[in-house]
Amino acid sequence: MSYKFKITKISESGVSKLDFNNIPFGKVFTDHMFVADYIDGQWTNFEIKPIAPIPTHPGNMAWHYGQAIFEGMKATVDAARNPLLFRPEMHAVRFNKSASRMSMPEIPNDLFVQAVHNIVHMEKDWIPAQAGSALYIRPFMYATDETIGVKASETYKFIIFTMPVGPYYTNPVKLLAQDKYVRAVIGGVGEAKTAGNYAASLLPATMAKKEGYDQVMWLDGVHKKYVQEIGTMNIFFVINDEILTPNLDGAILAGITRDSMIQLFKSEGFKVTERPITIDELIEAGKNGSLTEAFGSGTAAVIAPASHIKHNDEVVELDMNNRKYSSWAFDTINGLKNRTVADKFNWIVPAEPYQE
Ligand code: COI
């Protein structure tokens, strides 16, 4: 169905002040946001308006009981500066899976997708064309009941705002696998893109930074043995020319870049296997030289090669001149997103103004 949005445009865009060659990640916001409310069991008040703070009562349930979920998507441009989206439907589906796990209302996929189209089309002048840069799209939903007491809220806000962004990681990442803290267990909320998962990762990430590492490489919560993900990204390894990635076991975020890379690698004839991967086999493969690459994949990070993996006292250092698969992955996904690589899976969707 086609939804009607109330649209109020900003009087003067801030885009002329943006230095497109120097965009930090996550700090610059575009002119507008999309807002919808969930009241009396239905989504209503669809509106695009100038981005502004949203006053919130201190008793707002999201602050206390954590009903907050989000997505991360990107819009890019082709050579003619047409705005393009990447697999928007899949993001809507994942968003609703997160909603359902967190006992939040689903938002119709077509409403989610139309809102994304509309706001991206409106903000198209903000989309950087530089390789590795994009318009980052942040749809999110949070509880809005003003009630203290542990139960699901009855009201929610759904908002989409956008940001021009440069690369999330500018250098190869150093990964630390440790046994003290865990990110997720099967049956928990690891598969949901919920705010608390990221909050829980901050202390271990700070500790990793103190040791000179950029990110934690999470191990499973039961055996502390199987690699799960990085927290900002899913993870791939190359051992003996075979691309490996942990299988989705219910505790790992089902990354859309992860899924895309698996399909792209396979279509190129590369051998890809999704299976449990132990930290011990990685360290062993690193020591005997059969582990040749490790790289993360994510919407924000795109493809981020890893230079070091540490576990206990063992450190594996990877040869940053050998990036056969990660370079191919980076070039292919970026090429798809600016239409210089053929889109054989029809993942690229031109952003259209459903309403002006
Ligand atoms: C994304 O990749 O879009 C995420 O949400 C991860 C976050 C580190 C920005």
The pLDDT tens digits for 293-343 are 999 999 999 999 999 999 999 999 999 999 999 999 999 999 999 999 999
Domain with CATH 3.20.10.10 in the chain: 173-322
Q: Which residues contact 16 (CB under 8 A, 6 or more apart)?
A: none
The pLDDT tens digits for 207-242 are 999 999 999 999 999 999 999 999 899 999 999 999
Domain with CATH 3.30.470.10 in the chain: 6-167
Decide: 299 in ligand 1 pocket, CB within 6 A. yes
Count CA within 13 A, CB hemisphere, residue 46.
16
Q: Which residues contact 309 (CB under 8 A, 6 or more apart)?
A: 175, 177, 217, 282, 283, 286, 294, 315, 316, 318
pLDDT of residue 353: 87
pLDDT exceeds 70 at position 165:
yes
Going from the Cα of 287 to the center of ligand 1, the distance in angstroms, rounded, reads: 31
Band of pLDDT at residue 131, cut at 50, 70 and 90: confident
Helix (H) and strand (E) counts for the chain? 8, 17
Dist. CA 25–CA 132, nearest whole Å: 11
Residue with tokens 């690459």: 293
One CATH from 3.30.70.20, 3.40.190.290, 3.10.20.30, 3.20.10.10 for 173-322: 3.20.10.10
Dist. CA 352–CA 150, nearest whole Å: 41
Q: Are 260 and 333 in contact (CB under 8 A)?
A: yes
- Percentage of the chain lying above the pLDDT 70 cut: 99
pLDDT of residue 356: 58
- From 168, 193, 302, mutation site for ligand 1 pocket: most ligand atoms within 8 A of C-beta: 168
**Shortest-distance Cα residue to atom 7 of ligand 1:** 232
The architecture of the domain spanning 6-167 is: 2-Layer Sandwich (3.30)
